[in-house]
Structure 1
């Protein structure tokens, strides 16, 4: 069996024998956080995930004014209650995420293999205990718990959004101001996100070489498919890769991308930089820049503020379903591990559902007519 001192994040590896701190409580808490970060890095979790969890624990400690070996279930309940009652109450999914993060930390510091209960008992005559249980955490009762205003865009809304992005290019040119190339980049980016159903990180990580040919769609040239290298990863895993095929209903994206690569992108003088979306400083467009591109077009189009960049991905899934593509094809296109996830993204229109009803009625009437012959 593995000894406690051999485990990444063990108290025995972090606390130096014979060292006496003038204020031992904050030193112990800092060592716990360092140990937890080490344990998570050993599991190959992402740096951003680790930082967010550490920040959450610090935030909770500041709220309680106590240390982990003093925390009780009441503190956790009051923390979530406080977050719900503020001027901007947290969403259910956010509250669950906070509870899960705190529960994972408490699992770590209460695990005897890491020695924290023993050293806390020795120094403070108290031991940390789990404070989050099934009776004081959010139950996962619904598949989707996000903002109800976040939804797929209708065909008209997608058109309005993309038209607004194109109009911004023309406005800048008409005023003879700088920024027309950047506006064209933003418009092309938004069209690409929709035409291939991309996540923000997936769009951010695209390089020019990720534009691929599809032998079965030779007319599309180098834009017959898109090789996504920064797909959403599983816990501790590397980003997942997939190839997204250009579907005929979205083939309008082909000349758009061709023009961007051959005419507009060279205006940024990117040199050897591989990124598909480059900036005036010859760097890769940031996540924030991608968000701002969507927000600018959304506001110009007069669309609801609840809509965000990810809504375009929801729109892509919905529209592929309405085009009649099989569920498995849609699932593979967007890189979902489970069909149930794809179903959450789907929000078919009333027109589509009415069309299905009409088709069903026609089949029913036809069968009745045949039986009466």
Structure 2
């Protein structure tokens, strides 16, 4: 990474840049994606800018001060974010301390110091619970889902009434939100759907081409290609067949998409972005006057919860949403008191008979 016959005017800066370039190459060789590597490099730069020191000068004190600073801001980082930052910095320092790359020797010879451990068991966040996500992120109730969809359906008429552009996009957005819920999709999965991903299910011929949604760009483990899964249309949510049918017949052609493969297209005949799907949810949520802590991903929580309340086995629900572990699916679940009371009543009747009351 450092040419022996080149004399740098600022050797410290040159070594630092070479370190980051080498670490980026190491991650690339592990097939990590650019959108994973780039934020990691930015975090390394942030610690350098905050401390005013280079990696071979970092000590645990710099790491602790950095996290304390981020926690003291107007919008402090969450515990899960703090752990991610600590792990990322530790990975970078581990790379520098690995004798196979020789950075320790380079730093010792040039600067008289070598990289040392920044975060350790005594100053890093412990992983003591299964779930550390935002407690405000929860499944929507059935009434909230209906209110959200009613608000989304009303937006095109309201926009037309104001004489503004965007009614066609609002029609599309209403169909997008209903599809996200009806198939438990992530925003990126919904964005990447193509027309060919709407497929028949031989065991449910009555649904025609809407029996299965093929997700080809599911969330991938680091260093792995996107996960694929088939999401089956379930009878309780088969109204999605009418939603998609109406969209394909009445709405999508008005965008003049030509041969564009995307299911969801924009006015400029491009693919609808994940950010635009988020914005569609926020607009409908505000129109429905729902809790501002709710976000698009809450529809995926709702899907998992409602499938469970419909009586589908846990394994089926796990396969539908593409989770590798049942524990992850369980975290998304938030069944209602009515559902749990119904299960309790059923168990009591089976054990004590009809006179259990």
- TM-score exceeds 0.5: yes
CA distance in 1 between counterparts of 2:242 and 2:164 reads: 26
Q: Which residue of 2 aligns with 1:8?
A: none
Q: Which residue of 2 aligns with 1:259?
A: 246
Helix, strand or coil at the partner of 1:112: coil
Q: Which residue of 2 aligns with 1:292?
A: 279
Alignment equivalent of 2:45, drawn from 47, 55, 58: 58
Q: Which residue of 2 aligns with 1:245?
A: 232
Determine whether 1:161 maps to 2:148: yes
Determine whether 1:301 maps to 2:293: no
Q: Which residue of 1 aligns with 2:264?
A: 277
TM-score, length-scaled by structure 2? 0.98
**How far 1:142 sits from its partner (Å)?**
1.2
Helix, strand or coil at the partner of 2:204: helix
Q: For residues 165-195 of structure 1, what are the alpha-carbon distances to aligned partners after superposition, in whole Å with 9 as ceiling and x for unaligned? A: 0010221233453212100110000000000
CA distance in 1 between counterparts of 2:157 and 2:354 reads: 56
Q: For residues 296-332 of structure 1, what are the alpha-carbon distances to aligned partners after superposition, in whole Å with 9 as ceiling and x for unaligned? A: 0111111111111110000000000000100000000
**How far 1:68 sits from its partner (Å)?**
0.3
Q: For residues 48-99 of structure 1, what are the alpha-carbon distances to aligned partners after superposition, in whole Å with 9 as ceiling and x for unaligned? A: 1100000000001101000000000111111111111111111111001101
Helix, strand or coil at the partner of 1:249: helix
CA distance in 1 between counterparts of 2:59 and 2:354 reads: 67
**How far 1:101 sits from its partner (Å)?**
0.6
CA distance in 2 between counterparts of 1:344 and 1:204 reads: 24
Alignment equivalent of 2:311, drawn from 324, 339, 348: 324
Alignment equivalent of 2:70, drawn from 80, 83, 98: 83
TM-score, length-scaled by structure 1? 0.94
Q: For residues 327-354 of structure 1, what are the alpha-carbon distances to aligned partners after superposition, in whole Å with 9 as ceiling and x for unaligned? A: 0000000000000000000000011111
The runs of at least 4 aligned residues of structure 1 exceeding 6 Å deviation read none
Q: Which residue of 2 aligns with 1:197?
A: 184
Helix, strand or coil at the partner of 1:114: coil
Q: For residues 256-311 of structure 1, what are the alpha-carbon distances to aligned partners after superposition, in whole Å with 9 as ceiling and x for unaligned? A: 10111122101000111101110000000112111100110111111111111110
CA distance in 1 between counterparts of 2:119 and 2:57 reads: 14
Aligned positions of 1:86-235 closer than 5 A: 86-235=73-222
Q: For residues 190-246 of structure 1, what are the alpha-carbon distances to aligned partners after superposition, in whole Å with 9 as ceiling and x for unaligned? A: 000000000111001000110010111111111011000110111200000000000
Q: Which residue of 2 aligns with 1:349?
A: 336
